[in-house]
Amino acid sequence: MRGEQNPLGLPTVTGAVVLLVDGLGAAQLGQRAGHARTLSTAGGGSFDAGFPSTTAVALASLTTGALAGEHGLVGYDALVPGEGVRNQLRDWGGSMDPALWQRMPTLFEQQPQQPSIVISEPKHATSGFTHAVLRGAEYRGGRTIADRFALAERAARERALVYLYVPELDRLGHEHGWQSDRWVGALEQLDAHVRELVAALPRGTGLVVTADHGMVDVDASGHLIVPSELHGGIAHVAGEPRCLQLHLADGATADDVAHAWRAWLGDAAWVATQQDVVEAGWLGTVHPEVAPRIGDVFIAARGRRAIYFDESDPARGMLGQHGSLTPDELRVPLRRFGAFA
What does the pLDDT look like over 319-337, one tens digit per residue? 999 999 999 999 999 999 9
Task: Tell how strand 320-321 and strand 216-217 pair up.
Answer: antiparallel
Query: Cα 157 to the chain's mean position, in Å?
Result: 28
Query: Average pLDDT for residues 248-254, to the nearest whole number?
Result: 97
- CATH architecture for the domain at 15-215+325-338: 3-Layer(aba) Sandwich (3.40)
What single-letter amino acid sits at 126?
T
Angle 129-26-61 (CA atoms, 0-180°, nearest 5)? 30
pTM above 0.85, yes or no: yes
Of all residues in the chain, what percent carry a pLDDT higher than 90? 99
Confidence of residue 214 (pLDDT cuts 50, 70, 90): very high
What stretch of H or E contains 330?
Answer: helix 327-330
* C-alpha to C-alpha distance for 159 and 14, rounded to whole angstroms: 6
Ranges of beta strands (E only) in 98-146 are: 116-120, 138-141
pLDDT at residue 113 above 90? no
Contact criterion met (CB below 8 Å) for 20 and 61: no
In the prediction, which pLDDT does 39 show? 98
Of all residues in the chain, what percent carry a pLDDT higher than 70? 100
**Alpha helix ranges (H) inside 157-231:** 168-176, 181-200
* C-alpha to C-alpha distance for 104 and 45, rounded to whole angstroms: 28
Confidence of residue 115 (pLDDT cuts 50, 70, 90): very high
147-150: long-range contacts at Cβ-Cβ below 8 A with a sequence spacing of 24 or more? 148/119, 148/120, 148/121, 149/193, 149/196, 149/197
* C-alpha to C-alpha distance for 103 and 41, rounded to whole angstroms: 38
The residue extents of the domains of the chain are: 15-215+325-338, 220-321
Confidence of residue 111 (pLDDT cuts 50, 70, 90): confident
In the prediction, which pLDDT does 114 show? 87
Closest to 195 in 3D by CA, of 241, 228, 149: 149
Q: Dihedral sign, CA of 1, 209, 59, 5?
A: negative
Q: Give per-residue pLDDT as tens, 84-98.
A: 999 999 999 999 999
In the prediction, which pLDDT does 96 show? 97
pLDDT at residue 161 above 90? yes
Q: Does domain 220-321 have CATH number 3.30.1360.180?
A: yes
